[in-house]
Amino acid sequence: MALANCKTCGRLFNRLHNDNCPVCVKEEDEQFFLVRDYLKENRRAMIVEVSEATEVEISTIIKFIREGRLATIDNPNLNYPCDSCGTAITDGRFCKPCKDRLNRGFSQTKDELMDTARKKQGGDYYYKRERDR
Ligand SMILES: [Zn+2]
Ligand SMILES: [Zn+2]
């Protein structure tokens, strides 16, 4: 038993693998089907139109896309702003340039961390031993 507060309504529930309680999960599922069905009929719909037609919050629709639940391949106009710069994107959280930039940033940090770790491990000694083997 792992009790947790639902991320959506705050209700206490037995957390298995969801951040939301069963009530909210069901509600969200219903919203998802609404959106999905609407998009099947209206392939060129924009996110605002989908939201208006289905009465599902734009943020919820974006969440579906980010989670990979809604495929945007068939719906070219279904885009939303990149989390970093606001460019229109159709999957994930960031546009390609931002993703590249972030990836570079991450690997740089990783290298720096490795460097520090190496120094802590006694640096030279460790490497000499590796070479002599
Ligand atoms: Zn809930
Ligand atoms: Zn961006």
Per-residue pLDDT of the chain in tens (133 residues, 90 and over written 9) = 789 999 889 999 998 888 889 999 999 999 999 999 999 999 999 999 999 999 999 999 999 998 889 888 888 899 999 999 999 998 888 999 999 998 888 777 777 777 877 777 655 554 555 555 5
CA of 58 to the centre of ligand 2 (A): 19
Assess whether 41 and 66 both reside in one domain: yes
Domain that holds residue 108: 95-133
Assess whether 46 and 19 both reside in one domain: yes
Assess whether 76 and 99 both reside in one domain: no
Residue with tokens 């529930």: 13
Assess whether 47 and 65 both reside in one domain: yes
- Hey, what long-range contacts does 53-60 have (CB within 8 A, 24 or more apart)? 56/31, 60/28, 60/31
CA of 97 to the centre of ligand 2 (A): 6
Q: Assess contact for 80 and 65: CB atoms under 8 A.
A: yes
Instruction: Give the ligand whose atoms come closest to the C-alpha of residue 88.
Output: 2
Tell me the C-alpha distance between 9 and 18, whole Å: 13
- Hey, what long-range contacts does 23-28 have (CB within 8 A, 24 or more apart)? 28/60
User: What is the three-class DSSP state of 45?
Assistant: coil
